[in-house]
């Protein structure tokens, strides 16, 4: 009977006293976390039953080659009035606090720690021997609950170019092959999903971006550059007029191009002359037979050259060619004394810029016919194709008369006038 009563007493003592002791214990807990490789994850340090505490010290340890504690944040405001210090080491974190006024925290977050995942798994363990909660009557009984940091495997990525692209065509095709991490994977190409997920079509040359996300939500970002195939590079050459101009009187221009190494044009290029006509030729000659109908302040045609190189890449080169009317200026005096000044009977074009040879009529007309007479009506010079090159060789000083016919594409004009020759050194 006595033994039975003793057992009853022990049971009653456990029911009424044990819970009181349990409630008096301070519980410090850190949750287990799953963190991505080289990513960051925050975890709170939670305290329960922290009653009338005036100082504390908490020592959390971990494997520094598995995880790294990057920072702490969010210290409880009730601790702000005291001396709160968090010191981070390679393999531990030490939290200390003391104040003149005690603090009670029934159940709350004391502080948050931010970890970086390196590799493997590390215990987030409390060093009980160096951790305590102190009150005016001594240290409180405490329970410390460990956590665990699991670092998800690193995601690896291999990109393979399936189809290259030419400049500005955006037809590169790439394949992405992820490994590591936790399959399955999702792929975002330049911020957008692809129809075939791990294969992306129609990528452009230049800087691109891919994001791989695994089953756990871990992310691998990679920037990559698509070089692309070299495009065709050529220089458009316009022949016929020194200033690359379409003159209404002779709207004929010859075109060609110069390859810029290593470009090699593989077929006759396509020329678009801007007037509705095209040609496929290496060296076309084109007549702008509607040039006299173009209106506007600055009339012009835009000529386009479309070429392909050996890679199958194309380029389009454009050149704006103005349309102008030749405005004649015929000299009244020449001095053929071989001083290189006013020696030549130059028919000038006032619509050109420059002076002397730079502004002489050259190809502005289909051709020019020139006859020069002396004052007795005798011919001293005649040509059916004048090139502004007569130097009055063998012609004495004196007064002369000219008849100049300018034969244009649409009209022929006749110009008459007098010419004085001085300084030839020949007298009549």
pLDDT given for residue 243 in this prediction: 67
Say whether 14 sits in a helix, a strand or coil.
Answer: helix
Q: Which CATH number does 234-324 carry?
A: 2.60.40.10
Which is nearest to 133 in space by CA: 162, 163, 97, 166?
A: 97
Residue 136's CB is within 10 A of a number of other CB atoms, namely 8
Contacts of residue 138, defined as CB under 8 A and 6 or more positions apart, other chains included, come to: none
Share of the chain above pLDDT 70, in %: 93
Say whether 11 sits in a helix, a strand or coil.
Answer: helix
User: What's the half-sphere exposure (Cβ side, CA atoms, 13 Å) at 58?
Assistant: 28
pLDDT given for residue 223 in this prediction: 96
Contacts of residue 405, defined as CB under 8 A and 6 or more positions apart, other chains included, come to: 368, 369, 370, 412, 413, 414, 415
pLDDT given for residue 423 in this prediction: 85
From 89-93, 154-158, 276-280, 335-339, the region with the lowest mean pLDDT: 335-339
| CA torsion angle 302 167 307 237 (round to 10) | 50
pLDDT in tens, 343-367: 999 999 888 777 777 788 888 999 9
Considering the chain, tell me which residue range(s) the CATH 2.60.40.680 domain(s) occupy.
23-151
Both structure tokens of 204: 């452009």
Q: From CA 208, how far away is CA 189, in angstroms rounded?
A: 8
Residues 325-364 as b/e (b if ≥16 CB within 10 A, e otherwise) read ebebeeeeebbbeeeeebbbbbbbbebbeeeeeebbbbbb
Both structure tokens of 14: 């456990």
pLDDT given for residue 311 in this prediction: 87
pLDDT in tens, 273-328: 999 999 999 999 999 999 999 998 999 999 999 999 988 898 999 999 999 998 99
Grade residue 15 by pLDDT with cuts at 50, 70 and 90.
very low
Whether the per-residue pLDDT at 20 is higher than 60: the answer is no
Considering the chain, tell me which residue range(s) the CATH 2.60.40.10 domain(s) occupy.
234-324
pLDDT given for residue 12 in this prediction: 39
More reliable by pLDDT, 425 or 349: 349
Both structure tokens of 372: 């020069």
Q: Tell me the fold of 155-226.
A: Immunoglobulin-like (2.60.40)
Grade residue 152 by pLDDT with cuts at 50, 70 and 90.
very high
Which is nearest to 91 in space by CA: 57, 73, 118, 110?
A: 118
Grade residue 257 by pLDDT with cuts at 50, 70 and 90.
very high
Residue with tokens 């210290």: 75
Average pLDDT score, the chain: 90
Q: From CA 168, how far away is CA 127, in angstroms rounded?
A: 62
Q: Which CATH number does 328-421 carry?
A: 2.60.40
Which CATH entry fits the domain spanning 23-151: 2.60.40.680, 3.20.20.540, 2.130.10.10, 3.30.450.30? 2.60.40.680
Residue 175 is given by DSSP the state: E
pLDDT in tens, 30-72: 999 999 999 999 999 999 999 999 999 999 999 999 999 999 9
pLDDT given for residue 2 in this prediction: 45
Rounded to a whole number of angstroms, the distance between the first and last alpha carbons of the chain is 169
pLDDT in tens, 101-143: 999 998 999 999 999 999 999 999 999 999 999 999 999 999 9
Residues linked to residue 417 through DSSP beta bridges, in sequence order: 402
Question: Mean per-residue pLDDT for 240-264?
Answer: 87
């Amino acid at each position: 009977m006595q033994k039975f009563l003793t057992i009853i007493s022990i049971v009653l003592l456990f029911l009424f006293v044990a819970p009181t002791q349990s409630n008096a214990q301070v519980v410090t807990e850190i949750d287990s976390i799953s963190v991505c490789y080289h990513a960051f994850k925050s975890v709170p340090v939670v305290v329960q039953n922290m009653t009338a505490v005036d100082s504390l010290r908490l020592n959390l340890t971990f494997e520094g080659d598995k995880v790294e504690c990057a920072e702490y944040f969010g210290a409880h405001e009730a601790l702000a009035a005291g001396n709160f210090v968090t010191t981070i080491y390679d393999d531990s974190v030490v939290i200390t606090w003391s104040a003149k006024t005690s603090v009670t925290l029934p159940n709350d977050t004391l502080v948050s720690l931010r970890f970086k995942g390196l590799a493997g798994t590390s215990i987030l363990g409390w060093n009980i021997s160096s951790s305590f909660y102190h009150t005016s009557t001594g240290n409180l009984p405490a329970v410390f609950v460990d956590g665990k940091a699991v670092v998800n495997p690193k995601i690896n990525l291999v990109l393979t170019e399936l189809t290259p692209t030419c400049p500005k065509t955006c037809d590169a095709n790439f394949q992405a092959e992820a490994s590591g991490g936790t399959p399955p994977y999702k792929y975002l190409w330049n911020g957008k999903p692809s129809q075939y997920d791990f294969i992306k079509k129609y990528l452009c040359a230049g800087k691109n971006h891919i994001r791989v996300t695994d089953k756990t939500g871990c992310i691998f970002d990679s920037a990559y550059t698509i070089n692309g195939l070299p495009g065709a590079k050529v220089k458009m050459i316009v022949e016929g007029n020194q200033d690359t101009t379409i003159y209404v009187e002779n709207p004929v221009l010859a075109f060609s191009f110069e390859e810029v190494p290593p470009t090699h044009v593989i077929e006759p290029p396509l020329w678009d002359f801007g007037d509705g006509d095209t040609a496929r030729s290496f060296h076309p000659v084109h007549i702008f037979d509607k040039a006299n109908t173009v209106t506007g302040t600055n009339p012009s045609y835009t000529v386009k050259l479309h070429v392909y190189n050996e890679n199958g890449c194309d380029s389009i080169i454009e050149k704006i060619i103005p349309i102008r009317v030749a405005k004649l200026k015929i000299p009244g005096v020449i001095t053929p004394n071989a001083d290189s000044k006013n020696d030549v009977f130059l028919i000038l074009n006032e619509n050109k810029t420059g002076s002397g040879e730079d502004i002489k009529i050259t190809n502005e007309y289909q051709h020019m016919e020139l006859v020069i007479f002396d004052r007795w009506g005798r011919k001293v010079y005649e040509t059916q194709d004048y090139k502004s090159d007569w130097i009055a060789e063998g012609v004495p000083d004196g007064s002369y008369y000219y008849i100049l016919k300018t034969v244009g594409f649409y009209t022929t004009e006749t110009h008459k006038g007098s010419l004085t020759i001085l300084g030839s050194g020949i007298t009549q």
